[in-house]
C-alpha cells in the first residue's frame, strides 16, 4: 500500500538556521503531496502542496519540490523562527480522485532563540 516516511525527530535548531525535513513516499501512480503543520494544542493546518512532478509548493518561507525520480518531497526553510516550532507532517493522497490522505509519523521541530 501507499506510505510516507519522514525523518525521525525531534529536530532542534537555533533561530535563523536552515531547516530540512526529509520525506519520501511509496505510491502507485502519481499522488499529490502535502505538508501539514500542527502547532501545540491545535489541529493540523495545510502548509503547502504539490500535485505533479517538479511542482514546487511554497508558503510562509517554506518550500518543497515534488521529485518523482527520488520519490521525495523534502521540506526546507532558509531561516527558521521560534514561531516555527511545531510538528510537521508529510502526506500523500492516493491517485484517481480518492480523498484519503496517508500521513507520515510527523517530525517535531523546536527552534530556540
Partner 1 sequence: DTAVSQTPKYLVTQMGNDKSIKCEQNLGHDTMYWYKQDSKKFLKIMFSYNNKELIINETVPNRFSPKSPDKAHLNLHINSLELGDSAVYFCASSQFHRGFDGYTFGSGTRLTVV
Assess 60 for contact with partner 1 (CB under 8 A).
no
Q: What is the CA radius of gyration of the chain?
A: 13
Assess 43 for contact with partner 1 (CB under 8 A).
yes
Which grid cell sits at 91? Answer: 502526506
Among 21, 49, 66, 75, binds partner 1 (CB under 8 A): 49
- Spatial distance between the Cα atoms of 37 and 43, rounded to a whole number of angstroms: 8
- Spatial distance between the Cα atoms of 96 and 113, rounded to a whole number of angstroms: 44
Assess 29 for contact with partner 1 (CB under 8 A).
no
Stretch in the footprint of partner 1 (CB under 8 A) among 15-23, 58-66, 73-81, 93-101: 93-101
- Spatial distance between the Cα atoms of 83 and 14, rounded to a whole number of angstroms: 12
Q: Give CA 47 to chain center in angstroms.
A: 8
Stretch in the footprint of partner 1 (CB under 8 A) among 22-30, 46-54, 58-66, 69-77: 46-54
Footprint on this chain of partner 1 (rule: CB under 8 A): 32, 34, 36, 38, 42-46, 49, 51, 87, 89, 91, 93, 97, 99-101, 103, 105-106, 108
Amino acid at each position: 500500500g501507499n506510505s510516507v516516511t519522514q525523518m525521525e525527530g525531534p529536530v532542534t535548531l537555533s533561530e535563523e538556521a536552515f531547516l530540512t525535513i526529509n520525506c519520501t513516499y511509496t505510491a502507485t501512480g502519481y499522488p499529490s503531496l502535502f505538508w501539514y503543520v500542527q502547532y501545540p494544542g491545535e489541529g493540523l493546518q495545510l502548509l503547502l502542496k504539490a500535485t505533479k512532478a517538479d511542482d514546487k509548493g511554497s508558503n510562509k518561507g517554506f518550500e518543497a519540490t515534488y521529485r518523482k525520480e527520488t520519490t521525495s518531497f523534502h521540506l526546507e526553510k532558509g531561516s527558521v523562527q521560534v514561531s516555527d516550532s511545531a510538528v510537521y507532517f508529510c502526506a500523500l493522497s492516493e491517485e484517481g480522485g480518492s480523498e484519503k490522505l496517508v500521513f507520515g509519523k510527523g517530525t517535531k521541530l523546536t527552534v530556540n532563540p
